[in-house]
Every structure is written in structure tokens, then in C-alpha cells.
């Protein structure tokens, strides 16, 4: 079961528990019940409610409720709608490390419009202008606005009726978003952010030379690279209100584009010192999966796997790719060079992310130097001995990683620019959880 499907349950538990457990706790508990104890969803919900002292009887029943669009609140688990599709487009995302095609857009009825996401593009063919009966959809809130999700349980059938959607609500109202919420394909975006760096860049557009301005913006939620296609008379350190920008991703990292329609004004209200923006708080891996990547992101979680390809490896001197038996797929037989690397999977309870850690950081993280790694490998006649020792030292440790999070055909990964084990005693944490469970049974 993926987190997307669990969102209504999380919302429901938050409501029922009335602040007795925060979202991170609920997500972690659900994950433990479902993935470790293999409980059913119902059993997990009951267990969590019992544990944190909520009223057990407040759960919504399983039958779908027929609703008009304007009555969608964003916490419906099972809702039926009859709607017209006003806009629909396919989008490639990475969910749990797997490439996936989803369909997003706007649907509406005679009461209003609402964004939707279909996670099952193979099963539903929703076309612009068509009217459909949707059964067993679920709703959640994104950027403070409710949105409809079509998941595994959802059924869709075409409807012959014609729906009049009121004009006034079709307008794609500009969205005020945090930089961490920027997602490929967004238009009409408003942000308030500080300029961390900016400079001119010469490019060629349709054979013509052109100077644009590129740089980095930051707010308290994260950072983003931007390109301004027109004038940009602003300097490092200025706080700006940017309206009507749009987002395109490069290798999964959302980038903000300031095009012809953009309006930029300087704002005086302080949005934080630059130093504070530099040391941003950790991002949730689940959220990163929703947007596909990010610039200079901090994540904090538990190291749950040291993947193949960690330890002492050999690289082609030409292309730096790792090679087996000194054969590069591009350069043939080469005099390979040794390198040290860790591919660590870090899990923050909401998702998992593979972090690629370079030699210098691997040495610091594992305490194994290049020289020691070479000696260990020779002594044990085992090419995997270093990886095994790294695993022994790092598995189940809490760690903090910082770097760019990119997506490609292999999924989402972080190129670590900083990596360290942090002083959270995961074992003590796990023991506490078990004690609590035992006390409950
Ligand atoms: Zn090569």
C-alpha cells in the first residue's frame, strides 16, 4: 500500500485523535502496523486510536457518498461525483522510486471546479470535454485546496449528460506556493522569496543570441533555481514577490521560470535572514516524491539499506562510470581506478530515498578510509568486505543528508553534498515503541 492511498486514513486519524498524535507520528505508526506487523488497515486504525486515546467510533463508513464539487472538503475517503473534464494532461512522476504516469487536471459540475489526479492512467481514459460518473474517489488537501484523487478502488464510466460548469469558477486562480511545493508543469505561480544569487547568462534562442538572468531563490521551505527571460533589476539579498511565474523541471528538479507575464515587486517585510534560509529544515521524502526532486535539500531519517555498488569500487578513468572486471561498456578494456562510495537508502517514515555518497563523505560517514578499505579487501580476499562493514556500522543509524534530489528513469536519488550520522538513538526509540505496544496488549 503506498502513502498516496493512506492519505485519507492519515487525515481521518488526525481528526479522530484531535492533536494527540502529530502527522509524522501517525505516518510512522501506520507504516509499522501495515509493513512490520502486517495488520489490516482497519486493525491499524483501531490500534493507533486505542494507543493515543481517541474516540474509536468516529470513523466514516465505507460506502461512497455522492457529492457536488463545492461540498468536497478534502478529507473524503470514498466519494462519488458526476463531473465534466475541463482540463487533463499526463505527467511523468516518480513514486517510491518507480517511474509512473499520472493524469492531472481540472473537473467540475454546476457548483464549481476542483483539481484532480488519476493514479491509474491505464484504467481511466478521461478526455477533455467528456462527462463521467466517478465512484469511490477520495479527496485530500494540497496547498490548502481540496483535490480529488482516483485510485485503485475508483470506478469511472462515461455519462451522456451535458454539464454546465459556471464560467466564473473556471479561472485558474493564481496560487501562492512555498518553494518546496513547486511542481513540474505548474503555471500562474506566486511566490515570495529572497534572491540568494543572480547573474547574467548568454544563451541562444532560435539562432539569436540572448542574455537572460539565472540564479537561486530561497524561502523558509527550500531553494529553487530560476531563469528570468526579461529584465531582472534585483540583487542578492532582496526579498521579492513574484507573480505569474511557471515551473519546468530539469532531471526532476523543479525550476522557476519568469516569463513574459511575470510581475516582480520588491517586498520590505523580512522573510528571514539569508543564513537561516541556508540552513533549511529537513524536507519530507514523501513530499519530494510528489514534486519529483529539489535543489539543495536536507533530509533526515534512518539508514535502512546499503545498496549494491557500495564500498570499494572500480571506475573507468575516461567516463568515471563504475566498471566490473575493468571492462567499460563505452571504453572497453581500461586501467580502472579505485574509488569508495556508499549508496545509502534513507527512510523518514514517509518515504525512502537513495543517497549517493562520494569518497570523502563515505570515509567520514563510515570511518573507513580508502587505505583501510584497500587493506581490508586484500586481507579478506573479498571484494564485498568493505560494503559489509559499512552496512554493519551504518544500518539502522539515524542520518542527515543534504544535496540535490534528482529523478531519472531509475527513480529519485540524492547526490549527497553533506552526510552525517546524527545523535538520535534509533534502537532506544524502537525499544520504547515495543514497550508501549506490550503495555497496550
Ligand atoms: Zn568509460
For all residues of the chain together, what is the average pLDDT? 84
**Taken in order 408, 354, 23, 438, is the CA torsion positive or negative?**
positive
Same-domain status, 45 and 157: no
User: How does pLDDT run across 385-400, given as a tens digit for each residue?
Assistant: 999 999 999 998 999 9
pLDDT of residue 57: 42
- Same structural domain for residues 186 and 144? no
- The HSE-up count of residue 296 (CA atoms within 13 Å, CB side) is 17
Assess whether 268 and 349 both reside in one domain: no
Indicate whether 277 belongs to any domain.
Answer: no
Lowest mean pLDDT among 32-36, 149-153, 275-279, 313-317: 275-279
Give 168 or 385, the one with higher predicted confidence: 385
336: CA distance to ligand 1 center in Å? 9
* 15-69 pLDDT tens trace: 878 788 888 888 888 888 777 777 777 778 877 887 787 654 444 434 567 888 8
**Quick one: 313 and 410 in the same domain?**
yes
Distance, CA 318 to ligand 1 centroid (Å)?
Answer: 5
Element spanning 314, H or E = strand 311-315
Q: How far is the centre of ligand 1, averaged over its atoms, from the C-alpha of 327 (Å)?
A: 8
pLDDT at 423: 67
Q: Which residue has the higher pLDDT, 13 or 342?
A: 342
Q: Residue 414 Cα, ligand 1 centroid: separation in angstroms? A: 23
Residue 341 has pLDDT above 70, yes or no: yes
CA of 324 to the centre of ligand 1 (A): 11
Average pLDDT over residues 243-271: 86
pLDDT > 70? residue 424: no
Residue 269: the pLDDT is 63
Strand partners, 138: 149
Looking at residue 270, its pLDDT comes to 62
Check whether residue 121 and residue 231 sit in a common domain: no
CA of 331 to the centre of ligand 1 (A): 4
Ligand 1 centroid vs 322 CA: distance in angstroms? 8
Is residue 243 domain-shared with residue 373, that is, in the same domain?
no
Max mean pLDDT among 40-44, 321-325, 359-363, 379-383 falls in 359-363
Structural domain tally of the chain? 4
Decide if 318 is inside a domain.
Answer: yes
Residue 437 maps to a domain: no
- 20 Cα to the center of ligand 1, angstroms: 56
Report the C-alpha gap between 74 and 83 in whole angstroms: 17
Which of 16, 38, 58 is where one domain is finished? 58
Q: Is the pTM of this model over 0.85?
A: no
Which structural domain, as residue segments, surrounds residue 398? 285-428
- How confident is residue 1, by pLDDT bands cut at 50, 70 and 90? low
Q: Do 387 and 298 sit in the same domain of this protein? A: yes
- Amino acid 275: pLDDT: 59
Distance 334 CA to ligand 1 centre (A): 8
Please determine, for residue 122, whether its predicted confidence score (pLDDT) is greater than 50.
yes
pLDDT value at residue 62: 44
Q: Which residue has the higher pLDDT, 184 or 54?
A: 184
pLDDT category, 172, cuts 50, 70, 90? very low
Give a yes or no: residue 438 inside a domain.
Answer: no
Q: Do 291 and 421 share a structural domain?
A: yes
- The mean pLDDT value for 238-263 works out to 90
Average pLDDT for 343-348:
93
| 183 φ/ψ sector (left φ>0, alpha ψ -120 to 50, else beta) | beta
Distance 357 CA to ligand 1 centre (A): 20
Centre of ligand 1 to C-alpha 160, Å, is 59
Write b or e for each residue in 18-32: b if 16 or more Cβ atoms lie within 10 A of its Cβ, otherwise e: eeebeeebbbbbbbb
C-alpha of residue 31 to centroid of ligand 1, in Å: 42
238 with 213, same domain? yes
pLDDT of residue 170: 37
Closest residue by Cα to residue 246 from 311, 172, 351, 168: 172
CB distance 224 to 255 below 8 Å: yes
Instruction: Say if residue 236 is in the same domain as residue 311.
Output: no
Measured in angstroms, how far is the CA atom of residue 321 from the centroid of ligand 1?
A: 6
> 367 and 343: one domain?
yes
371/34: higher pLDDT: 371
- Which of 221, 243, 272 terminates a domain? The answer is 272
State pLDDT tens for residues 261-285. Answer: 899 998 866 666 655 665 567 888 8
Q: Residue 349 Cα, ligand 1 centroid: separation in angstroms?
A: 38
Residue 433 placed within a domain: no
- Domain annotation covers residue 204: yes
Domain check: are 385 and 291 in the same one?
A: yes
Mention every residue, 6+ apart, whose C-beta is less than 8 A from residue 250: none
Cα 365 to averaged position of ligand 1 atoms, centre (Å):
28
Distance 329 CA to ligand 1 centre (A): 6
280 in a structural domain: no
For residue 87, give the CATH number of its domain. 2.40.50.140
Domain final residue, candidates 16, 37, 58: 58
Please say if the pLDDT value at position 167 is more than 60: no
Amino acid at each position: 500500500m503506498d502513502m498516496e492511498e493512506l492519505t485519507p486514513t492519515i487525515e481521518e486519524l488526525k481528526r479522530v485523535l484531535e492533536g494527540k498524535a502529530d502527522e509524522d507520528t501517525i505516518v510512522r505508526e501506520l507504516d509499522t502496523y501495515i509493513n512490520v506487523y502486517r495488520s489490516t488497515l482497519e486493525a491499524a486504525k483501531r490500534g493507533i486510536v486505542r494507543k493515543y486515546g481517541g474516540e474509536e467510533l468516529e470513523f466514516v463508513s465505507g460506502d461512497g457518498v455522492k457529492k457536488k464539487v463545492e461540498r468536497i472538503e478534502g478529507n473524503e475517503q470514498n466519494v462519488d461525483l458526476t463531473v465534466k473534464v475541463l482540463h487533463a494532461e499526463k505527467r511523468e512522476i516518480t513514486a517510491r522510486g518507480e517511474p509512473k504516469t499520472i493524469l492531472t487536471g481540472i473537473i467540475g459540475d454546476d457548483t464549481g471546479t476542483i483539481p484532480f489526479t488519476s493514479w491509474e492512467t491505464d484504467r481511466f481514459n478521461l478526455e477533455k470535454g467528456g462527462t463521467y460518473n466517478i465512484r469511490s474517489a477520495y479527496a485530500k488537501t494540497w496547498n490548502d485546496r481540496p483535490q480529488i484523487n482516483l485510485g485503485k478502488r475508483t470506478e469511472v464510466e462515461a455519462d451522456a449528460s451535458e454539464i454546465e460548469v459556471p464560467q466564473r469558477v473556471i479561472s485558474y486562480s493564481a496560487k501562492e506556493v512555498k518553494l518546496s511545493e513547486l511542481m513540474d508543469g505548474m503555471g500562474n505561480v506566486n511566490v515570495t522569496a529572497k534572491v540568494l544569487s543572480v547573474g547574467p547568462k548568454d544563451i541562444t534562442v532560435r539562432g539569436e543570441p540572448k542574455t537572460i538572468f539565472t540564479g537561486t531563490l530561497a524561502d523558509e521551505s527550500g531553494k529553487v533555481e530560476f531563469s528570468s527571460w526579461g529584465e531582472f533589476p534585483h540583487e542578492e539579498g532582496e526579498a521579492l514577490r513574484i507573480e505569474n511565474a511557471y515551473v519546468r523541471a530539469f532531471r526532476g528538479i523543479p525550476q522557476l521560470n519568469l516569463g513574459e507575464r511575470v510581475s516582480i515587486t520588491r517586498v520590505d517585510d523580512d522573510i528571514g535572514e539569508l543564513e537561516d534560509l541556508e540552513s533549511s529544515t529537513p524536507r519530507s521524502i514523501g513530499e519530494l516524491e510528489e514534486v519529483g526532486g529539489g535543489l539543495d535539500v536536507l533530509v533526515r531519517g534512518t539508514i535502512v539499506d546499503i545498496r549494491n555498488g557500495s564500498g570499494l569500487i572500480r571506475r573507468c578513468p575516461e567516463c568515471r562510470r563504475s566498471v566490473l572486471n575493468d571492462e567499460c561498456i563505452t571504453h572497453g578494456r581500461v586501467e580502472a581506478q579505485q574509488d569508495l562510495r556508499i549508496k545509502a537508502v534513507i527512510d523518514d517514515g514517509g518515504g525512502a530515498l537513495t543517497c549517493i555518497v562520494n569518497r570523502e563523505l563515505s570515509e567520514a560517514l563510515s570511518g573507513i578510509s580508502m587505505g583501510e578499505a584497500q587493506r581490508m579487501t586484500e586481507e579478506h580476499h573479498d571484494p564485498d568486505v568493505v560494503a559489509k562493514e559499512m552496512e554493519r556500522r551504518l544500518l539502522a543509524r539515524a542520518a542527515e543528508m543534504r544535496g540535490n534530489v534528482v529523478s531519472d528513469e531509475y527513480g529519485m536519488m540524492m547526490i549527497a553534498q553533506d552526510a552525517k550520522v546524527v545523535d538520535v538513538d534509533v534502537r532506544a526509540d524502537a525499544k520504547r515503541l515495543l514497550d508501549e505496544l506490550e503495555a497496550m496488549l
